[in-house]
Structure 1
């Protein structure tokens, strides 16, 4: 199982309370599932900032041109399926460094 987390799960951002709470809940549910079902691989991944419509709407004055698009991050998620590391929370930045 791969869940899409966020740094909002562990950092407090003004006006992102509901979003952060749902991501924190996903992290906790994933962690519990990993413990309860040790035969499963459960990964929850923080993709980092991405050039999305959601972020553009939330930060209308930010220049997002230097951020990766989701399709640039997706291959990092697929790397988990190839390598099958231990269950846990991962970041796209950490997966990128593991090349």
Structure 2
């Protein structure tokens, strides 16, 4: 599942979004325990250049990566099939270099 740091950190006006991402993380964790033969990953892609981020943080002029930039992190999970768990895409991308 695609997670977010909003699943674990509180941000003003992001209550619904953060709660839904936290619920997805919990669902992934429970599924991993209930179905140990499956690999279940929850991936936080990091801050991305999306309309949602721009609307939430309109004064942030720092460049953000495009969503397509984290695809290699997801592909790495599929290739290496690590243990079920929560992963950050930036760390997955950094470790591969």
TM range (shorter): over 0.9
- C-alpha distance in 2 between matches for 1:81 and 1:30: 16
What is the total number of aligned residue pairs between the two structures? Answer: 96
Deviation at 1:59, TM superposition (A): 1.4
Under a length normalisation based on structure 2, what TM-score does the superposition of the two structures give? 0.94
What's the counterpart of residue 53 of structure 1?
51
Runs (4+) of structure 1 moved beyond 6 Å? none
In the alignment, structure 1 residue 88 sits paired with structure 2 residue 85:
yes
TM-superposed deviation, 1:57: 1.3
Gapped runs of 5+ residues in structure 1? Answer: none
SS at match of 1:98: helix
- State the secondary structure of the residue aligned to 1:56: helix
Contact preservation (8 Å) 1:76, 1:96: yes
Per-residue CA deviation, residues 6-33 of structure 1 (Å, 9 max, x unaligned), is 0000000010000000000000000000
Give the drift of 1:64: 4.0
TM-score by length of 1: 0.92
Counterpart of 2:33? Answer: 35
